[in-house]
A and B are shown apart, each in its own frame.
Chain A
């Protein structure tokens, strides 16, 4: 090493011989042992299959849905204690009770303000017209004219479809949660950005919060807060908090070190630095974080219907339970519109008044939500902003004046809506021409007719697909996992974790297995696992095909990406509706919904990986005369391995959370137990245990995937 490049500079230099490069730097090269993972896995599979054949159906730990074990009973007792005696306990009654009561009171206040009759009035304090006026005014103030039109239209649609009150409830839960998330999350994020220790402690906590599928929060929170608005709020806040914290920290940390240094050289104190440099420069990023938080809150507030949270989600749940696709669709449509409305408004707000210089860092934020830094903002978001920048129609002072001026009619409309009954509750439009076609019941009927017609047209195909995939893939794999004795499965999973990732994930796996064993729902967990695995494989098949197309061609990217963006905005709950319409209730439907939820993120990661292959390499390979297929199979896919592993990892977690939710449409197993826990008193303990099992399964899969990714993703 020390004698690097002492070479004879002779022009032709053949004298120095072919091996003279040894004198150039000789980097230390580690010799890698061949791992032979493939062979090990094959051996494992063979042993498994033999033992499966021998022991099939024995010691499977299967437990009927209505059966419970002693742990479940104890949890039931605990629930009874919390509900009866907990009020006198300082923690349950004092701390949690106070929080719960406060949240309930806040929610009730806003509900009476805009969505439910405020006793003694027969209507809310502010009627629909006033709400529309105020929200439009606020939107105009923070996000501009386009968003205002969108918001107004969306709100009117809620009214026309007869979902006004439910929509307002959902909006209340979502926005209140967002406000609380910001109040808590912003200071924590700032603290983390400024203190390495804080960051080191809090980051793992956030990791865990984000690894757990949302479903497993439901039961314990229901235990602590009882079902109702307070529980829904806490659930939503827990789920939506990590993005704000993470993105705030990231935004402040990514203020350029040069700027910080320059500011320090001017003698700014830490306080001044924060207020005058870091926060202003991170502002836009933080707003992106709020956007992510809002979307997460909306999707969770929808699911919170399961713990009796108010809002549109409730309609979806009850409609799903009666398999009424039409009614579910109307609410789902409202949820999607609300998602689009919130997304566009917060995005437009984040674009407003800022240069485009930050687009790069902002676009990195999207998937901080999932712990990945690759995702992009929807394309139109940045383009709209660009257009807005060039032609500022109104100056800042003019805008202020205009806003003040517009405030007057907004207030007038609010007052009017307090006086006039038909401005307070949304008029029934079922007799109005044209509008009647989109009034709630009519629309539901129309959608039912349409899906009936559609399904009767395609059901031979959909049922064929469903039956064949169920017969050839789902049933055999489920049988293999759930009919193996529990100890065999435990050993197989341990061995798998060890072979793929080493002893660390094996240790995690062991711990999770112990937890799952004691929850008493081992067999159901294996069923869920089998569905998760199948859905993940199918997700990856689709994601690789789409991702390769997107990564290789700009055109494909331009066509596919907006769909993926749209899919990602939709709260996962909603996917169940079309899946149910097409395939009827069953495990396959849950798998389809899981795919719909996880394909976008996996596809984007694959596409980013393919695009990330260095252009020089691609060109060099082209120059050797390789065909398109050779390019994909020998170069682009192998080089995008890291992204493929990451996509699989993310896809797996997304699939798991959705497969569980799919319990509601016949997916059975863990998800169904959790849901049953809320509807059947004696199953509460079992539902709680199932939630724990879901969490354990999630952590186990995440750890195995992570360590495997670290090992093979290089």
Chain B
């Protein structure tokens, strides 16, 4: 296979290297993007640049790494550049400047052939509006990626059938997409993405077009699939709840720039600025924050060996029952070491503060 011949290092690199490495990535939209990139105009704000040159900054100097197996969520309001960002990662949109590496391979320097090969084998995408082919049956939609890379009909049918079963569409293989509900169509999209057995899955607001109940369903499906197949996932959303639910880490964008990167509890507990604070203000904090964020320093004699022990990484809501039943300070440990204490009051402060807000 050409894959191993072209990229001899890919197998060894998987463990050590970042699944996705992005550094200094820029995208300016407009005919003279390259010239502006080199000039000082690039430093102007989005609005000023547009007024001066008619060009729009899609992505401004973005750098981050995604670890293998991680679920990395990119979040922002519409127009923040998140959809552009995910397209830059596979060069569906050409970057203006910067480097993108997928498992060590420099996407930005690839020739057309290598790029096609990467898209065929290493990365798959799931789209907001599904992007299914209405003239093909479900099974042929799922097998499309395999067909494009030239696999024989029998092999790709088998593989596609496995995917049908994996996403729970058994019995619908021979329907056409428009005969299925939105949620089921997105399962087809998911199956198509999984069929080529990629290293990385990218989701561009995959569930925004779905009903709330089905959306919750599909989120659970993604979590389940992540458990089962363990792919690296880059997930775009504008829904904070979704980001907090799915993400190992969250990147928050505004106007094409990174505002904050952090774990869900970091983002909620320590917002980087007013924008993020505003964003997370409605989040039920007790559902996201861990004890680490609410504990206080231990005062001498406050706790003893009989006090309950709680993990610092435990979510406040889950720890609440224990703390409240105990009627006194509890020990918070990180590993073996006691790092602080929490009592009823600390817990209630989180819960009540929220009540006050609502």
**Residues of chain A whose beta carbon lies under 8 Å from any beta carbon of chain B:** 5, 7, 9-14, 17-22, 24-25, 27, 29, 614, 616-627, 630, 634-635, 638-639, 641
Contact = CB atoms under 8 A, between A and B. Distances in A.
Lowest 7 CB-CB distances: which A-B pairs, in order? A620-B131, A625-B119, A625-B120, A21-B168, A624-B145, A623-B125, A616-B131
B316 to A, nearest CB: 17
Contacts of A9: 216, 220
A625 B168 contact: no
Contacts, number: 121
Main secondary structure of the interface of B (DSSP, over half): helix
Nearest to A22: B171
Contacts of A641: 135
Interface string B215-226: 011001101100
A18 B168 contact: yes
A549 to B, nearest CB: 20
Nearest to B214: A5
A10 to B, nearest CB: 7
B187 interface: yes
Given A623-B124, A625-B118, A614 B165 contact: no
Main secondary structure of the interface of A (DSSP, over half): helix
Contacts of A11: 220, 223
B214 A24 contact: yes
A626 B87 CA distance: 16
12 contacts: A5-B211, A12-B227, A13-B220, A18-B167, A21-B168, A21-B184, A24-B184, A24-B214, A25-B181, A621-B131, A623-B123, A638-B135
Interface in B55-109: 87, 90, 92
Interface of B: 87, 90, 92, 115-121, 123-125, 127-135, 144-145, 147-149, 165-171, 175, 179-181, 183-184, 187, 189, 192, 196, 211, 213-214, 216-217, 220-221, 223-224, 227-228
Nearest to B171: A22
A19 B119 contact: no
A663 to B, nearest CB: 40
A25 B187 CA distance: 13
A16 to B, nearest CB: 9
Given A10-B220, A13-B224, A27-B180, A624 B129 contact: no
B292 to A, nearest CB: 21
A11 B245 CA distance: 9
Given A7-B217, A12-B223, A621-B144, 4 more contacts: A13-B220, A29-B179, A622-B92, A625-B115
A24 B220 contact: no
A635 B87 CA distance: 20
A624 B217 contact: no
Contact of A13 (B121, B127, B167, B221): B221
Nearest to B120: A625
Contacts of B92: 619, 622-623
Contacts of B181: 24-25, 27
Contacts of A12: 220, 223-224, 227
A135 to B, nearest CB: 42
Max chain B C-beta neighbours (<10 A), residue from A7, A623, A641: A623
B131 A625 contact: no
A18 B170 CA distance: 8
Given A614-B131, A619-B131, A638-B135, A624 B170 contact: no
A616 B209 CA distance: 13
Nearest to A618: B131
A22 B175 CA distance: 14
